Every structure is written in structure tokens, then in C-alpha cells.
Structure 1
């Protein structure tokens, strides 16, 4: 039977066979299990959350920098590896022991091979990797994308060491790390920045060199890109790196841990479309247990990183930590939120009052969510999470506190609790999944395009992808929504070419029709993508701001988060950088936390309209008028496409209201 005929035949019998399966085994018991034999006969089921497959979770481990900086040697690393095991942290999931900057003093032999100081590393680096492995752990190492590492430009506890980068030796050094037995490599950007290298091109070159090295050695290295978000890696790093830094360091040498950088790094890591199927936004290493961190602040830190699904790399001295610190780092219900096998990121779903925020994370299973109620203010306050904002029905849902590991009862519609100042409450919620829409592939393409994927409102959507992968390793394909960036998706083996499972991504859809396109990745056998199921997360919903003259959308260039970025016109694609929430306070908010802003409180013609952290200022408040204009509340001037231009890249400014089409906007 041909593939085309087989697809048609299986679709005719799918509904009848699924009904039999439902009666025979109970669909609710099938979460992440192999289907019964009868299900395989239907061959290509519609995408349903009950056939999810687990993906590689974010890395957990320990890294040397935040406690030891450059002062590391075999004694320090052995001590910390021993303590990971004896403390129970290894059993809780902290498996990586990562050597950061300072392990190498920059010498190479005549063939360009790395030469290390054996007074610091008796037996060389293979010996320390072997020791780490002997404890049942995994080994990580550090390098730089440029010629010099960060310790050259910013020495801490040792003199500046030249030539500690890998530029000119990419494949050679990666092969060396693999042959030594390392499992993970962090690739910093100090040399790359000083040399003016291009972040995307350089890290993609390193990823290709890693693949070539693996072909020689038979080993794999987890790739941690560390260019601090300067090259907007959430647009391109997914599937090239396994994790990528989204912000600058959360802690500098001789700096006291603080809330400001913790909050900044959390906010800048929220790039939900980039994080899925084993690839992760990285807000930097943990400060839990460091001097200056209280127990409450340690828990807050863990709550933020867990709802974000961030890598958890402890940076404290594990050998001397308190029992309290260990218990915070190893709380099983908090770690379960972070390590959830669906591999998605939490997103902001409500902020009814400024700085009283609600974040929701879709978990594996059906109707499962993690929720963080986050109070950024200086006073305790009640915060409410509504089930509908999370993509659940208003029916009763059970609530559990992850930190206290106690049940908080069943609640219809919503749940409210008091949250202390500058603190968070981390919950898990079990409710009823809201309805979604399924789109079946009717072609013979392994990587099809789904047209007319409709959304009732612009916003972040849960997309479950049904596929088959009969191979023994993960396959890759890209996903692209309309004109947005494309992202590589990993599709783990499903057991056979006729066994279908789902993986999930978060995608940003425009109101109305969208195109969801899959494409093969060069060098990888494509999975057989059969269907997508799309479900809203209503708390993320917003609207596009469409120009009356241009038909183009108000847009933030290249998904940048940088304060002061001027808004522009661009083709409407439904991206998160084009989706604005109109708050009850009169703000137009993009990304969940950046307000459309009159630059420097400007009140004159030509004032730039930019994005900036929401402050409550009058220059960030707007009035939508019946004639389609938007006036800034501080100046009374209109939002204007400069020079009445309509092309992509046209900058948005304030100008005296004149009734022209370049000052008319539709929120849709």
C-alpha cells in the first residue's frame, strides 16, 4: 500500500480505533507510556498531550566560579565532587562538576595541543575527569571563543594568562576535551568581544567543529554558549548550542549577591519560543548559599530559576554548606518543576497590580501547571492566579505548595494567597485542560507546512507536535511560524516508524490565520511530522498595533530586550516582539515587562518611541482615541510613523496630531 493511500485509510479508521482504545485502557493512564498494540494500527493519531515523550532536562550540577573564581586545582575539584555525593546533591540530580576559568595557563606545544600545569593537575586533565566520573558524576570544562579567555582581560585570583582561548583551534581543542573525557564545555566571549567577532557565526562554527570532533572521538559535549545575550542568541542558538546565556553575569568577583541582577537575569531569560526539546535559555549560575544570601532569598532564587526551566548550576562551596542550604537546593518538588520532562519555560500570565506578577509553566501530563506568584514590591500582598490565564478551564483545580510540600486544597476558578515582600510562592496546579485545535497533515511530506492555523487572539500558544522517529537517536527539524525566526526542534526516538509521540514548543501566533512550517535540517534525517495541536495560554494574549498607512506592525527589532531600543514598523508576523498588552494602567507592554515609552520624558516633535522597563511613568501611558490615534499621556502628541513612511524599519516617534494615516493605529 502506498504512503498516500495508507494515510487516507488510516484516517478513515482512526476515530473508530481510538474509541476502542479509550474504552479498553483508559486514556488518562497513558501519560508518557507506550501505547497498546491496537493504537499502533491507527498509525497516525491526532496530536494529544497524553502521548508526550520526555526530553533532555536542563543541566544540573556545580560550577567553580562563584566560590573559587580562578583558584581551582585538583584538590578543590575533588573536594567538591566528593561533597556533591556525600551531601545527597548528586542523588537529587546535580551531576555536572564544571571547571570554570583558571584551570589553564595558556601554554601549547609545537602542534598546538594544550599543555597544563601538572602541579595543579597531577596526571593532567584526563585524571580529574576520570576522578569525577568515578564518583558517578559528569565533567565540564571552560574555554573562550576568542584567542584570550576572560581571565586575561579580567584577572581575579591569579595573574592574567594569555592565549587561553580556542580561536584557531576549535576542532582541535574540542577533540582534546572529548578525549580527556569531558562531557560539557562552557564557551565564554571575552576574547570574542574584544576581537569584534560575530556571535552567531562564531558559535555556529564552534557547533560544527564539535560535531566534527565527535565524529573523530565518538563522544559528545554539551555546548554552553556564554556570550551574555549580546548577540540575541534566542533567535539562532537553539539546536546549535544546548544552552545559551541570555544576560550578563549574575555575580561579579568581590560583589555581594543582590536582587537587582537576579531579577534582571530572570527577566532576560524569558524567551519561551527558543526553549524546548532539550535546549535552554541560561540566566547564569546559582548564588544559593553564598555569603549575603538569606534562606528566603535562596528560595526565591530557586523559584525563579525553576519556573524558567533554567539550568541549575550551584556555585556555593558544597563541602561547607549548611543543612539549610542543602535542603533548599535539593527540595524535590521544586526540582521537579525545573526538570519537568516537557522541557518548556514559564511565561508571565498576569500582573493585575504593578510588580505583583503571576507566571505559569505547562508541565507534562494533562491539566498540569506550575505557578509562581512573584511579589517584587516592598510589602506583603495578596496575588491571585486564575485558571483561565493558564490555559485551564475554570473548573475546580487542586493546588500544592512546592516549598512546604503541602496541599492547599481544591479551588474553583482561581487561587489567592499572601506573598511576602520581594519573595515568591511556588505552586503546582492540577486542573482540566482547556480545548485546543488539531491540524492534521494531509500530504506525504515528512516535514509539512500547516496553513490556516488560527488563533482567536495574538499570544503565546502551546503547540504539541505529533511525529514518529524510528531511529536510535534524536532527529532535528526546524519550526517556523509565519515570518518569525525558525528554531531547531529535537525529536527523540519513538521506538518505530509507526509509533507516534508528541513533543511540545511554545510559539507566538497572530490573531487569525498563521502558517506553521517544518523543514529538514541539513545532515539530520527528518522525523515524520503528522499533526499539531494548538492551545492558548490566555494570560499571554495581546494585540498587534497595525499602522493605518502601512498595514505593518509596531515591532521591536530582532526580539531585542535592550532598554532604549526604538520601535519600528515591520511586516506583521505575530511574533512576541509585535504583541502588546494594553493594561488597565494605560500602558502598552511588550515581552511582559517592557513598556512603550516616550524617550527621556520627551514632549517635543520627533521624540523617539522606545521600549523601557515599565515604571508607571506618565510617559509610558497612552490613550486610544476614537479616530484611531494613540496619544502619549505626558505630551499629548500622537504615535507617528516618521516622515509618513511605510517601509520596514520606519522608526516610530511622537508628533503633533494631524489626522494623517501614519498616525492611525488598530489594536487587533
Structure 2
């Protein structure tokens, strides 16, 4: 028995030695396959065609939208991506296997459009799918064509790729998505990689080496229940967000008309404090003043773009009343007081919940009123909120 035990121990030692020799190679290979493109150090900001236009897109509308991003001043406060969603390509590839822009709606091709957008100082995004066809089934997906499509996108000057998850071969996203990651890394152009896997297999847990953002929820709709549920579903993954890789709650619905002004303010506030991509989904060519006021709030955007990149967590829930909080740079804390209920209510943020010493005195900046409150606060801060509304503060300790 002693000899056998020694033989087993010796065999195990040999196996471990081999594993240790291979480990550096495995790690090196893993790092080589990671999406090290230097993009997404803060959440991306821009616009996407799907929420408002669906498949009703064309070259003129995309050009006019790029014009609007500049003329409205959105580009000056960080909105830079103009993203084309589904339905832009012909149903069949050309005889070389390349994707072909739909002639009837993009007569001059995507490269010419990208050049136009770039001359505006903006970036152009495009859409594909990790399946045989996209979700609309009106154009091919990139499955089995990843390298060819990545090189095509790079040659056109594409800056952002939204990659959906429809009509697949049945394999797991953890198998299919990294293939496009590697293809993009070899394409010769940095392209922001947005994984649109809808949160089915918890992409927050594996997305960091694969993409720059990952959808944690199914598609959003322009109503309160859909919007607030997406925020809830995403919040549990807060620890996975960091510079270079972000949890994505789907595009913004602000300005599409399905919610009240207060509800849209909640929508924009929760996306901002959650460090979500701020991708507008309305028609930028005819926005109302109320919509403009919401999406151009520089103070709220600054929270979203804070270099520390900490995503907010719900730190207290009492019925319909919630407190969301996240640390910011310069020792500050961002706090959203939220009333999800049907009636007016008084809501309190307590220092113990948001990570402050109970004796700390703070200065409170109201980000929607654009004013610093005269009163300094110690221990807690209380606000009275109407139905489906919020208050958004940045708290700064007073030395």
C-alpha cells in the first residue's frame, strides 16, 4: 500500500508540474484573446435608430440625425455615436460573401456615410448578429463570417458594433461572441463592441474579456413598468461594471412620448447613476424643449461619466421608496431618492446606507434643480417626492 501511495503521489506531482508549465501559456493566450481596444473608459454616449425608427431607416435620416447631434449641441456634451441598427443590409451577401448595404436606402454605401459622420466630429455605429440572420430576419447575421464582417466594418470606418443574439446555431453565446471579439481585434481598427445577448446567460459575469458593454436585460419599451424593471434587473450586476466594460440596460426612451416628464427624469437619472450607456432613442430632428432639458443635463451626465466608474446599488428599499447610491471621484457620493409608488411620499437617505460616517457633514447639490442646498446635512437627507419621481443629489463632505 505504501508503494502504491507513493506512486500515486508521484503521478499527481508530475501532472501538477505539467499544469504549472502550461498555465502561463494558457493565461497568455487568454489575455491575447481579450478585447484590449482601449475604448469605453466611460460609458458610451450617442444615439441608436431602433427605438423610434425600427426598420424604417435610410441614409438621409442618418445624415440628418448626425447633423442634429451637432446643431443641438449634443456633441459638445459627449454624445458622439450615431448608430445604425437592424435592417441596413441586403438579404443576401455578394458573390465573395460580403455584407452589402441595401441599395434602396443606402445608395452610396456605408463608407461614404461614415466619412460624412466623421467629418462632423462624430462616430458611426452599425449592427450585426451572432446568428445566421438578424432579429428582423431581413439581413444576414455574422455567424461563420466573423472575420470577413469585422474587416468589412473596419474598412468602412465603423466605430461601434452592436451584436445581437437571434437565429443562432443553438450554441451558447459564450462560444459565439468571443469569435467576433477575436475578429475585431484583427480587423485593424478600434471598434466598440456591444454585446446584445439580453442577459440570458448573465453576460456581466463573462463579458469583460469579450466586449465593452453587455446587455443585462431584454428589450426596453417606452413605458414606466418596462423602464423600471430594466433598472431592477441590471442593478444586481453592479459589481461587474468598470472602465472599459459596462452593464447595458438598453437604449433610452426619453422623448418618445410613452412616459411623463417625471418618469423620463427617473429614467435618465437611473441610467446615469447606473453607469449605463447613454444612447438616445428618439427622433433628434424634432425634439421638444422638455426632452432637450433632460438629455442635456450636464450635471447628471457628469455622474454617468465619472472616471471612477462605480455603478449604483439600491442601498435601501422600503415599499415604494428606494435609495440608490454610488461613490464618485473627489470623495463625493451620488444619490437618487426614488418614489416608485402612486402617491406623494417623504423619502430619506441615511448616511449609514450610503457609506458615510453618521457624523459627517455634507453639502448637497440638487442635479435637476441645478442648485446647492443652503442647508448642510448630517446623518440623513429627506425629500418629498411625487408619484414616479426622484431627486438626484451629489453629496460632498465638508472638511
TM bin, normalised by shorter chain, reads: 0.7 to 0.9
Which residue in the other structure is 1:172 paired with? 148
**8 Å CA contact retained: 2:47, 2:83:** yes
Which residue in the other structure is 2:348 paired with? 384
Q: What stretches of structure 2 of length at least 5 have no aligned partner?
A: 1-38
Task: Give CA-to-partner distance per residue, 1:327-349, whole Å, 9 cap, x none.
Answer: 11001111111111111100111
Task: Give CA-to-partner distance per residue, 1:566-585, whole Å, 9 cap, x none.
Answer: xxxxxxxxxxxxxxxxxxxx
Which residue in the other structure is 2:328 paired with? 363
Aligned pair partner of 1:286 in 252, 276, 287: 252
Which residue in the other structure is 1:425 paired with? 391
Deviation at 1:426, TM superposition (A): 0.8
**8 Å CA contact retained: 2:40, 2:243:** yes
Give the SS at the match of 1:291. Answer: coil
1:161-310 counterparts in 2 under 5 A? 161-162=138-139, 164-192=140-168, 195-213=169-187, 217=188, 219-251=189-221, 257-270=222-235, 271-310=237-276
- How far apart are the structure 1 equivalents of 2:57 and 2:102? 12
Change in CA separation of 1:263 and 1:81 when aligned onto 2, cut-off 3 Å: same
**8 Å CA contact retained: 2:363, 2:398:** no
- How far apart are the structure 2 equivalents of 1:314 and 1:239? 26
- Return the TM-score normalized by structure 1: 0.52
**8 Å CA contact retained: 2:68, 2:284:** yes
Change in CA separation of 1:132 and 1:397 when aligned onto 2, cut-off 3 Å: same
Give the SS at the match of 1:107. Answer: coil
Q: Does 1:349 align with 2:334?
A: no
Which residue in the other structure is 1:550 paired with? none
**8 Å CA contact retained: 1:97, 1:138:** yes
- How far apart are the structure 2 equivalents of 1:432 and 1:148? 57
Which residue in the other structure is 1:629 paired with? none
Which residue in the other structure is 1:401 paired with? 366
Deviation at 1:116, TM superposition (A): 2.1
Q: Does 1:333 align with 2:309?
A: no
Task: Give CA-to-partner distance per residue, 1:341-376, whole Å, 9 cap, x none.
Answer: 11110011112x21211011111122x010001111
Which residue in the other structure is 2:41 paired with? 56
Q: What stretches of structure 1 of length at least 5 have no aligned partner?
A: 1-53, 153-160, 252-256, 434-668
**8 Å CA contact retained: 1:83, 1:318:** yes
Structure 1: 4+ residue segments shifted above 4 A: none
Larger Rg: 1
Aligned pair partner of 2:104 in 116, 119, 123: 119
Deviation at 1:432, TM superposition (A): 6.7
1:638-649 counterparts in 2 under 5 A? none
1:269-668 counterparts in 2 under 5 A? 269-270=234-235, 271-351=237-317, 353-366=318-331, 368-394=332-358, 395-408=360-373, 409-431=375-397
Pick the structure with more strand per residue. Answer: 1
- How far apart are the structure 1 equivalents of 2:102 and 2:207? 34
Task: Give CA-to-partner distance per residue, 1:207-247, whole Å, 9 cap, x none.
Answer: 1221122xxx2x11100000100011011001321000011
Task: Give CA-to-partner distance per residue, 1:483-520, whole Å, 9 cap, x none.
Answer: xxxxxxxxxxxxxxxxxxxxxxxxxxxxxxxxxxxxxx
Q: Root-mean-square deviation (CA), in Å? A: 1.5
Deviation at 1:388, TM superposition (A): 2.5
- How far apart are the structure 1 equivalents of 2:63 and 2:392? 34
Give the SS at the match of 1:165. Answer: coil
- Return the TM-score normalized by structure 2: 0.87
**8 Å CA contact retained: 1:144, 1:188:** yes
